[in-house]
Chain A
Amino acid sequence: MLKKITLFISSFLFSILFYGKNIGLNYLLFSILVILLLATLQPKKFKTKKILIRTLYYLAASTFVFIYNSSLSIFVSIVSLFALLGALPTFKASLYVEFLNGCYTAIASSFTNYYHHMLEETEAVKKKNINYSYWIKTIGIPILIVGIFILLYSNANPNFNRIVSTIDLSFINLKWVLFTLLGYFILLNFSDPQTIQPLTQMDSETENQLDKSTIPMQSSTSLLQENQLGIILLISLNLLIGFFLTTDLFYLRSLIDVAASDLSKSVHEGIYALITSLIFAIIIILYFFRGNLNYYKKNQHLKTLATIWILLNVVLVVITAYKNYLYVTHYGFTYKRIGVFIYLFLSSVGLITTYIKVHARYNLWYLLRKNIHIAFMILVFSSVVNWDQLITKYNINHAQITDIDYLINLSNNNVVELKEYVENNKRKTTKQQAERITKKYLAYTQQLNVNSWQEFTYDNLKIKK
């Protein structure tokens, strides 16, 4: 009963917050509503550290939706919500399982519940469960009596009548009702988190450590041959990457004065080479260290060669990062260039976890779990940054060449910086660009002024100051 009333009120609030509105303060308020709903329905689970941390992530990400209103912050907030919903029914699951469980809960939990509920019920129970007269009494009678009293009080008191007549319920129409039902469906899904049973079970049964007893037996000759193959292959690959890096270092010295197109080509080719190299490196290492070779007494050389190869790949990451840095100092930041830095960072993490996997005898699941966890942390922290503002400030103040058209096409988070730039540097922008910036600024400030309270963003507060 408590659940039904809570969901009913929450779906009504959902409509008030989102019906015909853009994203803004409403998103943050909805997140608080979801947290309150979950905490009301599952209070015990909200006393655990893990759930509290997940809640904090979700709340922080939703706060950044209010502050920046960017697609990235919305995406991070949704991912954080999935992590929270997925963590509720399973305390020990891996993060990727929690995401999938959370995603499943958010989109289809009510259907699963309905299915299981339907199987359990007999016809007699069904009839007993739907007590129509109870619902008519509980909802109908209070509404009727309150309505009669409102009419009586309105006639008795002109002030009361005036206030009552100002209540506008014209927004309630079929579209609004359907929207509220959609809200009810979403919140109903959230209210009873589910798990993907086979996946959750498999995850809980799989440890990070390699299990020697589950590895198929291999003859000593076969092991020796595999070890030799690994050594020969890794020596060849190390020599090849070593030669590539030497030539690349020489090329790097000449890069400072090259044209933009050459620098761009060099960075992009470096990235493609790096992606291929890293994928192969990890696949080959995982292949050789998949089973018995981990416990082979003479695997020391193979381990050393694998470590050298990982190190050389890290050098490749550093060189490519430096090329990207040169590119950024010349031509400024873009999302793609920031993406390259993030990719390079994640690659380094992947290489380090592969190194740990080899030396600590972990399995593939360890790599998957750790890397997804780190990627999630980076994603959460990336929503803290106002990227459009950062790109604009850097490109205007530090880059040697500034692509103003690119900056104009970014979101509204950089309008203030662009406006100041065009006012202080009239010679550096064309007339058309200056007009576009002014138009963007005016459109945004106008939009902020007409925002309803649900659509309020942090910029509304700044404008008031």
Chain B
Amino acid sequence: MKTLSRTIVTAAKAALLASFLLSLAIRALESVNFNSVPLIFILSIIITFIISFIMILFTIVPIYELTPKLTVIQKFNKYFPLYAIVFFLACTYIIWNQNFDAITNIIFIIAYITAMQSWVWFFKENKKNIEKNENN
């Protein structure tokens, strides 16, 4: 239950971040009609929430759940670098494969930033728990 609530909260934050960045990027593209930006923001929140939820559920939650012997910080330190490198390579490959198309660049840069920040949010631990783990 605790993991599910972490997942939902992180996915919600990730959706907000991704939608905000996407709206900014779309606004920066001169060809887009400014009136459509709020609509895009609302639509993107729904879509990015679903995508973020699925991504967190299938990529971050297994690492969090399947390593019970490690503390939350140890899990982050051990698996985040690997996740970051693999995710970065995957995004770079897709961008390169699409010949550095502007829209693809924007989508995958945002996806990368959101995924990394999701790790930070998901593995956030309050001070009391950290001290409790250190004492144990």
- Given A115-B120, A122-B127, the answer on whether A107 and B25 have CB atoms closer than 8 Å is no
- Of B27, B84, B120, B130, the contact of A104 (CB 8 Å cutoff): B84
Chain A, interface SS category: helix
The answer, yes or no, to whether A221 is at the interface (CB within 8 Å) is: no
The answer, yes or no, to whether B77 is at the interface (CB within 8 Å) is: yes
The answer, yes or no, to whether B64 is at the interface (CB within 8 Å) is: no
Inter-chain contact A114/B120, CB cutoff 8 Å: yes
A174 cross-chain contacts in B, Cβ below 8 A = 24, 27-28
Chain A interface residue bracket vs B: 20 to 34
The answer, yes or no, to whether B80 is at the interface (CB within 8 Å) is: yes
A198 cross-chain contacts in B, Cβ below 8 A = 77-78
B25 cross-chain contacts in A, Cβ below 8 A = 178
A114 cross-chain contacts in B, Cβ below 8 A = 120
Inter-chain contact A197/B120, CB cutoff 8 Å: no
A119 cross-chain contacts in B, Cβ below 8 A = 73, 124-125, 127, 130
Q: Count of chain B residues with Cβ under 8 Å from any Cβ of A? A: 27
A107 cross-chain contacts in B, Cβ below 8 A = 84-85, 88
The answer, yes or no, to whether A196 is at the interface (CB within 8 Å) is: yes
Inter-chain contact A103/B85, CB cutoff 8 Å: yes
Inter-chain contact B84/A111, CB cutoff 8 Å: yes
B130 cross-chain contacts in A, Cβ below 8 A = 119
Inter-chain contact B28/A178, CB cutoff 8 Å: yes
Inter-chain contact B24/A178, CB cutoff 8 Å: yes
Q: How far is the CB of B37 from chain A (nearest CB, A)?
A: 11
B76 cross-chain contacts in A, Cβ below 8 A = 115
Q: How far is the CB of B64 from chain A (nearest CB, A)?
A: 14
- Given A104-B84, A107-B88, A178-B24, the answer on whether A197 and B77 have CB atoms closer than 8 Å is yes
The answer, yes or no, to whether A283 is at the interface (CB within 8 Å) is: no
Q: For window 45-79 of chain B, which residues contact chain A by CB distance below 8 Å?
A: 73, 76-78
A124 to B30 CA separation, bound complex (whole angstroms): 43
The answer, yes or no, to whether A284 is at the interface (CB within 8 Å) is: no
With A119-B124, A175-B30 already in contact, 11 other A-B pairs whose C-beta atoms are closer than 8 Å: A103-B85, A104-B81, A104-B84, A107-B88, A111-B119, A111-B120, A112-B80, A119-B125, A175-B29, A197-B78, A198-B78
- Which residues on A are within 8 Å of B, measured CB to CB? 100, 103-104, 107-108, 111-112, 114-115, 118-119, 122, 173-175, 178, 182, 185, 194, 196-199
- Which residues on B are within 8 Å of A, measured CB to CB? 24-25, 27-30, 73, 76-78, 80-82, 84-85, 88, 109, 113, 116-117, 119-120, 123-125, 127, 130
8 A–B contacts from the bound complex (CB under 8 Å): A103-B85, A107-B88, A108-B80, A108-B116, A111-B119, A112-B81, A185-B113, A196-B82
